[in-house]
Amino acid sequence: MLTCAGLNLAAAVVFGVILSDWQQKRILEQVDRRLRDAARVVGAELADQIESGRSEALQERVRRLGREAETRFTLVALDGSVLADSQRTTLADVEAMDNHRDRPEIVQARTRGEGRSLRPSATLAATQRYFALRVEAANGKPIGFVRAALPVDSIEVQTAAVRRLIWSLVAIVGLCVLGLSYWIVGHIIRPVGSLTEAAEAIASGDYRHRVYVDNRDELGTLARTFNQMSQQLDARMKHLGQTGDRQLTVLGGMIEGVIAVDARRRIVLANRAAGELFEFKPTAAEGRPLLEVVRNHALHEAVTTALSTGQSQRLEAKSSMPHPAATIQYVDIHVQPLPGAPCPGVVLVMQDTTELRRLESLRRDFIANVSHELKTPLSSIKAYAETLRNGALHDPEASQKFLARIEEQADRLHHLIMDMLMLARIESDQQVFDIVPVCVAEIVARCLEDHRSAAEAKRISLAVDMDGAPSDAWSQCSVRADREGLRDILDNLIDNAIKYTPEEGRVTVGWRCGQLRSEERGARSEAEGARSEERGARSEEPAAHIQHPVAQIFVRDTGIGIKPEDQRRVFERFYRVDKARSRELGGTGLGLSIVKHLVQAFGGKVGVVSEPGKGSTFTVELPLCEAAAKL
C-alpha cells in the first residue's frame, strides 16, 4: 500500500508543480497580451503627438489613459528620452526621468518591433511586467515607443490564488489516491496475499489452513475454491494417514516378521517382529542395505534371485544370533517379488519355526519313548508266553513263576497306560478338577498310611515333619486343589522318595502355610522353569518383596539324590536318571511329569533341591484357601 500510495502521491505532486508552472506562464501571457493591446491602442491614438515631442497635453492624455486602463503607460522617444508617463503628474517630473534607451524591453522593441521584461522598476522600486511597442508613422518610419507596464504584485496575487487552487486539488487527488490504494490493497492485494500465505501453508503440510476473503469477485471465487480444495486435501491426507496407521498397526501386530526391500536391496519397511527375529531396530533399518542389517548370505541370494527372476523363493535360515534358550533359531522365510517389470522390490515374510521344530522333536521323542516303553513289557510278556508254550507250561513251578512275571509286566503296562492317559487328560484340559479347600494334614496322613507298608518293607522311617510350626494353624492349613489330584501328587512324591531311598533311610513329609516371600521358597520352581523353557525364555524369579498366600508341602528323603544337571529334567516325560533302576523299581518315567501338570492345573509350582548321595526335597507350592490364609 505504501509503494502504491507513494507513487501516486509523487505523480500528483509532479502534476501540481507542472500545472502551477504552466498556469503562471499562461497568466503572464495573458498579461502580455493585455499590455500589447493597450500599448497598441495608445500607440495608434498618440502616434501624432509622439512625433511632435513632449508636451503638457500629451502628459495629461497619457495620465488619463493610464488611470482608465489601470496600466502604467510610458511614451519614449527614439533616442530613449521619456515623453510622457502615466505615473508622473507634471511634465517636469517626466523631464526628470532618466533616459530609457537601455531598458531591455526598449532595446528589444527597437530591433524586433516589440519587447518585454520582468524586472524591478528603476523609478518606482517595484517589480513590473513591461511591454514595449515600436510606434511607426504612416510611412512606416519609427517615431518612438509606447511602453505599458503592470506591477507584478497583482499578477502574483492572481497566480497565487490559482496555485492555491491547484494544490488544494492535488491534496484532494492525493487523498483520493490514498483511499484508492487502500481499496486496491484491501480488495485485490490482501486477498492475493492471503491466498499466497495459504498456498505456502498447504505446501508445508498444514492442510487445515483456510483463506478468509469476502470479495464477491473472481478473487472471492478463487478463495472459496481454494478452501474447498484444502478441505478435500485435509480429508484425503487424514484418510491416508489413518490407512497408513492401520497398516502399520497390522504390520506391527503380526507375529510374522515382514521386511519390504526395494530393487536396490534396501529396506523400505520392516515390522517389529522382523526386528526381534534378526535383532535390529525397524525404524533405524529403513533405507539401509538388507545385507548390512540382516547378515545372512542365503537370504541375500534368495532376494537377488527373486528380483532377477520374478519368482518367489522359500528358504529356512538359521539365525546367527543365539536364541534365548541357547538353541539355534530357525526362521522360515518366504520371498515374494512385487508385481511389475523390472521387479520393483520384494516382500520377505518370516516365521520363527524354532518352537515348531522343538515341538516336532518333542513329539518324535514322545512317540519313540512310548513305543519303547510299551515294547519292553510286551516283549517280556511275549517271551514268557513263548517259553510257557515251548514246554515250561508242564513245569508247575516254572509256569507259576512265568505267569507271575506276565502278570507283573501286564500290571506295568496297565500302570504305564493309566499314567499316559492321565497325563494326556491333564494336558488337553479334559480332566475336570473339583477345586475345593483341601486340608493338607488329612491328605498327608492318608498318603502316609498308604505307603507305610512299602516303607516298612525297606525299613524306612516315614514321618510328618512339623518343623516347629504352631500346631493349630498347621493342622488347619487348607489349600485350593482337587482332593484326588493332591493325593496323586503326594502319592507320586512319597512313592519316589521310598523307591530312591536305600534301606534304613528316612522320608519326611511336612508343610508350612502363610505369606511366604519368593526367596523363602528355597526349591527351584520347576513348573515355572518348564513353562519358560516351552516359551524359549529363561525364567525370572518374581521380585523378592511380593507376598504369596501359599502353602508349601515338601517330601524329603535321605535317598540317592539327583545330580544338578538332572534336576531340571526329571519333570520331563519319560526322563529317568537311571533307566534300568527305574524300570526295575516299576517306574514309568511319568510320575513327576504328572505331578508337574497337576500342580500347574491347581495354580501352583513344584521344585526340587537335591544333593547326590544325601537326599532330595521336592516342594509343592499351592495357593492357600482364604480361610486358611486368614489364620
Between 163 and 412, CB nearer to ligand ADP = 412
Q: Which residues of 22-57 are buried (b: 16+ CB within 10 A; e: fewer)?
A: ebbeeebeebbebbbebbbebbeebbebbeeebeee
- What is the three-class DSSP state of 448? helix
Between 159 and 409, CB nearer to ligand ADP = 409
Cell numbers that stand for 592 in this block: 513327576
Between 49 and 593, CB nearer to ligand ADP = 593
Q: Residue 551: which H helix or E strand, with range?
A: strand 547-557
Between 191 and 561, CB nearer to ligand ADP = 561
Minimum Å gap between C-beta 496 and ligand ADP is 3
Of 315, 287, 285, which is closest to residue 302 (Cα–Cα)? Answer: 315
- What is the three-class DSSP state of 332? strand
3-state helix, strand and coil shares in percent for the chain, rounded to the nearest 5: 55, 20, 25
Between 29 and 578, CB nearer to ligand ADP = 578
DSSP state of 519: G
Minimum Å gap between C-beta 314 and ligand ADP is 41
Between 145 and 575, CB nearer to ligand ADP = 575
Minimum Å gap between C-beta 463 and ligand ADP is 16
Between 377 and 589, CB nearer to ligand ADP = 589
3-state secondary structure 358-374: HHHHHHHHHHHHHHHHH
Between 576 and 597, CB nearer to ligand ADP = 576
Distance linking the first and last C-alpha atoms of the chain: 91
Task: Tell me the C-alpha distance between 401 and 390, whole Å.
Answer: 15
Q: Which residues contact 443 (CB under 8 A, 6 or more apart)?
A: 483, 486, 487, 490
Between 174 and 591, CB nearer to ligand ADP = 591
For 166, list phi and psi in degrees, rounded to 5.
-60, -45
Bridge pairing between strands 506-517 and 461-465: parallel
Minimum Å gap between C-beta 488 and ligand ADP is 12
Minimum Å gap between C-beta 485 and ligand ADP is 16
Of 85, 91, 88, 115, which is closest to residue 103 (Cα–Cα)? Answer: 115
State the burial class of residue 187 (Cβ atoms within 10 Å of its Cβ: 0-12, 13-18, 19+): middle
Q: Which residues bind ligand ADP (CB under 6 A)?
A: 492, 496-497, 500, 557, 559-562, 570, 575-578, 582, 587-593, 616
Cβ-contact 391, 362 below 8 angstroms: no
Of 352, 351, 348, 257, which is closest to residue 306 (Cα–Cα)? Answer: 348
Minimum Å gap between C-beta 335 and ligand ADP is 45
Minimum Å gap between C-beta 497 and ligand ADP is 5
Between 383 and 577, CB nearer to ligand ADP = 577
Between 108 and 588, CB nearer to ligand ADP = 588
Minimum Å gap between C-beta 465 and ligand ADP is 15
Amino acid at 288: R
Between 115 and 607, CB nearer to ligand ADP = 607
Of 406, 402, 427, which is closest to residue 531 (Cα–Cα)? Answer: 427
Show the CA angle centred on residue 510, arms to residues 505 and 516, nearest 5°.
135
CA dihedral 48→49→50→55, nearest 10 degrees, is 170
Minimum Å gap between C-beta 379 and ligand ADP is 19
CA dihedral 18→24→26→28, nearest 10 degrees, is -150
Minimum Å gap between C-beta 587 and ligand ADP is 3
Between 244 and 613, CB nearer to ligand ADP = 613
Between 145 and 500, CB nearer to ligand ADP = 500
Minimum Å gap between C-beta 360 and ligand ADP is 23
Task: Tell me the C-alpha distance between 149 and 129, whole Å.
Answer: 5
Minimum Å gap between C-beta 365 and ligand ADP is 15
Minimum Å gap between C-beta 419 and ligand ADP is 8
Beta bridge partners of 621: 552, 605
Minimum Å gap between C-beta 430 and ligand ADP is 21
State the burial class of residue 79 (Cβ atoms within 10 Å of its Cβ: 0-12, 13-18, 19+): exposed
511 C-beta neighbours (distance < 10 Å), count? 23
- What is the three-class DSSP state of 502? coil
Between 50 and 606, CB nearer to ligand ADP = 606
Minimum Å gap between C-beta 579 and ligand ADP is 8
Minimum Å gap between C-beta 533 and ligand ADP is 17
Beta bridge partners of 517: 547
Between 481 and 562, CB nearer to ligand ADP = 562
Length of the chain: 631
Task: Tell me the C-alpha distance between 259 and 299, whole Å.
Answer: 12
